[in-house]
Amino acid sequence: MNPPEDLRSIFLRAVERVDPLSMIARSISVESGSIVIRSDGQTFREDLSNYRDIIVLGIGKASARMGKAMEAVLGEHLTRGTVITKYGHSEKLSKISVMEAGHPIPDGNGINGARLLQRIASDADHRTLIIFLVSGGGSALFCLPREGVSLQDLQMMTGVLLESGADIQEMNCLRKHTSQVQGGLFARMSYPARTISVILSDVVGDRLDTIASGITAPDCTTFAQAKSILKKYRLEERIPRSIAEVIESGVVGRIRETPKEGDPAFRHVTNVLLGNNLAACREARSQGERLGYRSCIITSSLTGEAREIAKFFAAMARDLDRGISDFPRPALLVSGGETTVTIRGTGKGGRNQEMALAFLVDFMEDHPPFRNIHFLSAGTDGNDGPTDAAGALVTGELVERTRSLGLDPAQHLRDNDSYTFFDATGALFKTGPTNTNVGDLQLLIVE
Amino acid sequence: MNPPEDLRSIFLRAVERVDPLSMIARSISVESGSIVIRSDGQTFREDLSNYRDIIVLGIGKASARMGKAMEAVLGEHLTRGTVITKYGHSEKLSKISVMEAGHPIPDGNGINGARLLQRIASDADHRTLIIFLVSGGGSALFCLPREGVSLQDLQMMTGVLLESGADIQEMNCLRKHTSQVQGGLFARMSYPARTISVILSDVVGDRLDTIASGITAPDCTTFAQAKSILKKYRLEERIPRSIAEVIESGVVGRIRETPKEGDPAFRHVTNVLLGNNLAACREARSQGERLGYRSCIITSSLTGEAREIAKFFAAMARDLDRGISDFPRPALLVSGGETTVTIRGTGKGGRNQEMALAFLVDFMEDHPPFRNIHFLSAGTDGNDGPTDAAGALVTGELVERTRSLGLDPAQHLRDNDSYTFFDATGALFKTGPTNTNVGDLQLLIVE
C-alpha cells in the first residue's frame, strides 16, 4: 500500500467511471435498429425506424464529450446536432457542431446557441427524435431571456445572485422564471417531437428540475416563489426593472407559469439519469477495496461551508487513528457533493483546496504528526475554483514540510489562500480538465 | 418502533452510562483493603493500609456527584474531602464539603476553593492518598493566579479570550501559564503525597492536559506558545498588563515552566480516565441495537460550526432516505463531541438547538416532507447554552407544525434564535441538569 499513490489512483478511477465516453458506451447502444438505454437497473428502448431525423442537442460543460460518445453510438443513424459548452471544453466532432459560450455569467454566444436550439426544436415534428445531452453549467450556457429582458439584464441578475448568498435552487428558480427555454419550457417547444434527455448530474440530490435549470423536466418552482426569493435577499431594487416586472406580472397571471408535473408537454419526453456523484463514489469504494482498504461511502450529498465540513473528516480521522472508530482499518472513507466557500480574504483557492487546508490546520493545531492519515479533496471536473488544480492532497509528511518551509497554514486559511499554500508545499492535485462533472470527491485513508 | 420516543430513550440511556454514580460504582471498588480501579481494560490497585489519610478533592461540574459516588465506595476509609463545583451543581454529601464557584468567568469563591485545596495538598505527606476528581468546568472553577495577577485581571483575560475566537486548547494554554495550580502544577504541590486523579472528559480527544486545564498531567504547552497566542489574536494590548508581564517574563526564564512529561512531580501521580463521550456514544449504539436499529458511531470527536456540521447529518439522512446509503436501515447514526456557534444574531439558543434548527432548515428548503427522518442533538449535561433545554428533537411532523404556525425557521437560524423556534413548536428536548458532562450527542434515525 502506498496511500498517497492509492488516493490518486482511486480518484482517477472514479472520474473515469463518470467520463461521458465510457458511461455512454456502457449505457447506450443501438441494437436491431433501436436505441437502448440502460440506467439504474431499467432498460429503455426506442425504435429508430419511426423517425426521419435523429438530432443530438446538448448543453453543459460535458456536452461536447457526451456528443462525441453519441456520435460513436448512433453512427449512420445520426442526422445532425448542436451542443453548447463552456469556452475551452470543446471536443473534435464530425456531425455535431460545437458552440462555446460564457459561464457562469451568460453571454451573447449563449443566446445565439439557445436561439439555434429553439429553432431546431420548433421545426421538429413527430418524425423527429431529439436526444438532449444535459450536464452541469447548462443554466448559464443555455439562456434565452423572456420578452422585455435583455442580455445585460440577465447578466446583471446573475451577478447580483452570485453575490447574494442565494443557493443553487433559489438561483435556478429565478433563472427559470425569466427564461424562454428553462424550467421545462424547452419540452413545450419541441413538442410533438420525441425527446430523450440524457442527464449527467452535478447537483446534490440529482433533481432533474435543478440540473441545468431543468430543460425537459417539470418545474417544481413558481412565480410566487421567485417573488419571495427576491424579497428574502432584498433584491427587488437591485435587479433590473425588466426582471422585476416579469416576476411580478407572472404572479398575477399575465405570463404563463413554467410547465408542471402532468403537463402534456412532457408526454413525449423521457429523462434518463446517466451518471452522478454516487456513481463516482461507488467506483472509488470499489477501487479502494481492490487496493486492500476497507471502504465505506459516508455520503454523496455533501454540502456546507468547506472549512467547517473539513472538521467532520478530521474527527473521523482522529477516531480511526486512535483506534476507537466503528470503521475498520485500513480505512477508506468516501464522500461526495459540493461544498461552498464564503470568501473573506483576498487569496487564491477553491472549495476543495480550502477543505484540504482546513483539514491540515485542524491536525497541526491539536495533534501530533499524523503519519497514518491521508486526505484528498478534488473536483471531478479537474477544476477547483479559479485555479489550474483539481484540489489538494494532504499527507503526514506535509506537516514537516510546512514547518521546514516556515509556512503558517492557519494564516493562509484565514485569507482563503489555499492555492498559494499548496503550491508552495507541492501538494496541489492536478488532473487537467476532464470534460465531465459530477461535483467533488473527498477520500480519507487511515492506515 | 417509535423513533421520537426511541431517540429520547437512547439519549437518556447514554447519559445514564456516564453518570458519575453508576460509572464510579462500576469502575472503582474497595477489595481486601485496596482501592481497585478498572478502566479501559486495565486494572489499577492501591493498598489503602499504606495511608494515614485518604482525602477526596474535586473540581468541575460533575465533582459533587463524583464525590457522592466516592463516599459510597470508600465508606469508612475516607478521611475527608472538598470539591468545587459550579453554582447549582451541588449534591448532599456527608464527609466531603462542597464549595460552589463562578463559571465560565472565575470568581472569588473559586480562588478561596483553590487556596483551600492548595493548603491541603501542601500539608499532605507520603502517608496521604489524594483522590482527585476532575471534570469539565474545572479550568474556571479552580483558579489561583500567579503572583502579581489579580482576580480582576484573570476575569478580564477570560472575558477577552471568550470573545477572541481562541479555541479551548489556546485558552487553556494561557490559563495554565498564569495559574499556580493548573498545567500540572498541582501535582508538584501535592508531592510527595500519592495522587490518583479520576477524570471525566468533556473535551474532544480526551487530552489529560486539556481537561480542566490539566491539574495533575504533564503540560504540552509552553510560555513561548502562550506568547504567540497573544500575538495571533492581537491580545497583547487588550489583556491586563500584569498578565502580559507574566507571559513575557516566563519566556525569558524568570518564572518556571509548567512541568513536562518526565517531571519528578508526576512520579506519585496516576491519571485514570473514568468516562468520556465515546462511552456515551457506545451506549447509544447498544441501546439503538436493542431497539432494532442498525447502529453506527460516525465519530465521537466532532467539532466545527454547528449550523454547517448540521449539513453533514442532513446529507447522510438524505442518502439513507433515498436508499443510496452504505449504512443499512432502519439506521441509527451516532455522533458526539462539541461544536461551536459564531453568534451573529440577537436570539436565544445553544449549539445543539442551533444544529437541530439548521438540520430542519436544510430539509425544508430542498426536500419534500421527511416522514422517516428523526434527529436529536443535545448536551449530556442537560444544558445547552444559556437555556433550560438540553437540545432539540426534529421529526417529520415538525415541518407541518412549522408551516401551520406560519414560522420561518431560516429567519430564526439567521438570528441564532433556535430556542424561541423550538419553544414555539414544542420541540425542545429537556432533561434538567444531569450533573455529568461528556459533551454533546447527535442521534439520527432514518427508518
DSSP conformation letters of A235-260? -TTTS-HHHHHHHHHHHTTSSPPPP-
pLDDT at B406: 93
pLDDT in tens, chain B (447 residues): 899 999 999 999 999 999 999 999 999 999 999 999 998 888 999 999 999 999 999 999 999 999 999 999 999 999 999 999 999 889 999 999 999 999 888 999 999 999 999 999 999 999 999 999 999 888 889 989 988 899 999 999 988 887 777 777 888 899 999 999 999 999 999 999 999 999 999 988 888 888 888 889 999 899 989 999 998 888 988 999 999 988 888 765 555 789 999 999 899 999 999 999 999 999 999 999 999 999 999 999 999 999 999 999 999 999 999 899 999 999 999 999 999 888 888 999 999 999 999 999 988 876 566 789 999 999 999 989 889 999 999 998 898 899 899 999 999 999 999 999 999 999 999 998 898 999 999 999 999
pLDDT at B62: 94
Instruction: Give CA B237 to chain center in angstroms.
Output: 31
CA distances from A265 to A187, A215, A219, A250 (A): 6, 12, 12, 20
User: Mean pLDDT over residues A211-224, rounded?
Assistant: 89
Question: How many other CB atoms are there within 10 angstroms of residue B238's CB atom?
Answer: 16
Helix or strand holding residue A392 (H, E): strand A391-394
Helix or strand holding residue A365 (H, E): helix A351-366
Closest to A326 in 3D by CA, of B328, B4, B9: B328
Alpha-carbon gap, residue A446 to A74, rounded angstroms: 45
Ordered strands of the A440-446 beta sheet: A294-302, A331-337, A440-446, A373-379, A391-394, A428-429
pLDDT at B325: 96
> In a mutagenesis test of the A interface, which of B283, B366, B411 is the best target, namely the one with the most A β-carbons within 10 Å?
B366
pLDDT at B368: 63
The strand pairing partners of B42, in sequence order, are: B39
Alpha-carbon gap, residue B353 to B358, rounded angstroms: 9
C-alpha cell at A381: 471536473
DSSP-derived pairing of the beta strands A428-429 and A331-337: unpaired
Would you call A156 helix, strand, or coil by DSSP? Answer: helix
Q: Give the distance from residue A344's alpha carbon to the nearest chain B alpha carbon, in angstroms.
A: 15
Residue A5 CB contacts under 8 Å (≥ 6 apart), including other chains: none
Residue A319 has its nearest CB partner, among B285, B300, B308, at: B300
Taking an 8 Å cut-off on Cβ atoms, the answer to whether B326 and A204 are in contact is no
Q: Which residues of B370-384 are buried (b: 16+ CB within 10 A; e: fewer)?
A: bebbbbbbbbbbbbb
Q: Give the distance from residue B301's alpha carbon to the nearest chain A alpha carbon, in angstroms.
A: 5
C-alpha cell at A347: 487569496
DSSP-derived pairing of the beta strands A194-200 and A128-134: parallel
DSSP conformation letters of B179-220? BSSTTTHHHHHHTTSEEEEEEE--STT--TTTGGG-SSS---
DSSP state letter for A191: T
Which residue does chain B place closest to A203, by CA atoms? B366
Residue B326 has its nearest CB partner, among A167, A169, A296, at: A296
Place of cell 472569588: B108
pLDDT at B252: 53
Which residue does chain B place closest to A363, by CA atoms? B205
Could you tell me if B370 and B399 are in contact, meaning their C-beta atoms sit under 8 angstroms apart? yes
Helix or strand holding residue B291 (H, E): none
pLDDT at A49: 96
Q: Give the distance from residue B401's alpha carbon to the nearest chain A alpha carbon, in angstroms.
A: 20
Taking an 8 Å cut-off on Cβ atoms, the answer to whether A309 and B314 are in contact is no
Residue B365 has its nearest CB partner, among A169, A301, A312, at: A169
Taking an 8 Å cut-off on Cβ atoms, the answer to whether A315 and B305 are in contact is no
pLDDT at A344: 84
Average pLDDT, chain A: 92
Helix or strand holding residue A346 (H, E): none
Which residue does chain A place closest to B414, by CA atoms? A232
Residue B315 has its nearest CB partner, among A167, A299, A318, at: A299
Confidence of residue A368 (pLDDT cuts 50, 70, 90): low
Number of residue pairs across A and B with CB atoms under 8 Å?
A: 101
Measured in degrees and rounded to the nearest 5, phi and psi for residue B349 equal: 175, -170
C-alpha cell at B278: 465515546
Helix pair angle (B418-425, B351-366), 10° resolution: 70
Give first-to-last CA distance, chain B, whole Å. Answer: 9
DSSP-derived pairing of the beta strands B53-59 and B128-134: parallel
Which positions in chain A have a beta carbon within 8 angstroms of at least one beta carbon in chain B?
167, 169, 204-205, 278, 285, 296-305, 308-312, 314-316, 318-319, 324-326, 335, 337, 362, 365-367, 410
Exposed/middle/buried for A207, CB within 10 Å: 0-12, 13-18, 19+?
middle
Could you tell me if B81 and B116 are in contact, meaning their C-beta atoms sit under 8 angstroms apart? no
Could you tell me if A214 and A265 are in contact, meaning their C-beta atoms sit under 8 angstroms apart? no
> In a mutagenesis test of the A interface, which of B172, B278, B311 is the best target, namely the one with the most A β-carbons within 10 Å?
B311
CA distances from B436 to B21, B214, B252, B351 (A): 9, 19, 41, 18
Q: Give the distance from residue A334's alpha carbon to the nearest chain B alpha carbon, in angstroms.
A: 10
User: Mean pLDDT over residues A381-410, rounded?
Assistant: 92
> In a mutagenesis test of the B interface, which of A278, A302, A312 is the best target, namely the one with the most B β-carbons within 10 Å?
A312
DSSP state letter for B259: P
Domains plus CATH for chain A? 20-144+179-221+258-275 (3.40.50.10180), 278-446 (3.40.1480.10)
Looking at residue A441, its amino acid is: L
Residue B373 CB contacts under 8 Å (≥ 6 apart), including other chains: B317, B320, B321, B363, B395, B396, B444, B445, B446, B447
pLDDT at A250: 77
Chain B residue numbers touching A301 (CB-CB < 8 A): 314-316, 318-319
Alpha-carbon gap, residue B218 to B63, rounded angstroms: 21
Kindly report the length of chain A.
447
Sign of CA dihedral B384, B386, B387, B392: negative
Q: Give the distance from residue B303's alpha carbon to the nearest chain A alpha carbon, in angstroms.
A: 6
Which residue does chain A place closest to B299, by CA atoms? A316
Taking an 8 Å cut-off on Cβ atoms, the answer to whether A315 and B204 are in contact is yes
Taking an 8 Å cut-off on Cβ atoms, the answer to whether A315 and B299 are in contact is yes
Q: Give the distance from residue B411's alpha carbon to the nearest chain A alpha carbon, in angstroms.
A: 10
Sign of CA dihedral B372, B378, B384, B390: positive
Chain B residue numbers touching A278 (CB-CB < 8 A): 324
Q: Is the pLDDT of residue A200 over 80?
A: yes
C-alpha cell at A221: 418552482
Alpha-carbon gap, residue A296 to B370, rounded angstroms: 25
Residue B302 has its nearest CB partner, among A204, A304, A315, at: A315
Alpha-carbon gap, residue B262 to B439, rounded angstroms: 30
pLDDT at B241: 92
Q: Give the distance from residue B278's alpha carbon to the nearest chain A alpha carbon, in angstroms.
A: 8
Closest to B253 in 3D by CA, of B224, B232, B229, B231: B224
Which residue does chain B place closest to A337, by CA atoms? B315
Alpha-carbon gap, residue B429 to A257, rounded angstroms: 43
DSSP conformation letters of B330-346? SEEEEEEE--B----SS
User: pLDDT (tens digit, 9 = 90+) per residue, A123-172?
Assistant: 999 999 999 999 988 888 998 998 889 999 999 998 888 777 777 788 88
Could you tell me if B200 and B67 are in contact, meaning their C-beta atoms sit under 8 angstroms apart? no
Chain A residue numbers touching B276 (CB-CB < 8 A): none
Alpha-carbon gap, residue B48 to B50, rounded angstroms: 5
Taking an 8 Å cut-off on Cβ atoms, the answer to whether A299 and B278 are in contact is no
Exposed/middle/buried for A41, CB within 10 Å: 0-12, 13-18, 19+?
exposed
Taking an 8 Å cut-off on Cβ atoms, the answer to whether A299 and B318 are in contact is yes
Helix pair angle (B397-404, B351-366), 10° resolution: 80
Taking an 8 Å cut-off on Cβ atoms, the answer to whether B311 and A304 are in contact is yes
Residue A301 has its nearest CB partner, among B299, B318, B365, at: B318
Taking an 8 Å cut-off on Cβ atoms, the answer to whether A365 and B301 are in contact is no
User: pLDDT (tens digit, 9 = 90+) per residue, A2-44?
Assistant: 999 999 999 999 999 999 999 999 999 999 999 999 988 889 9
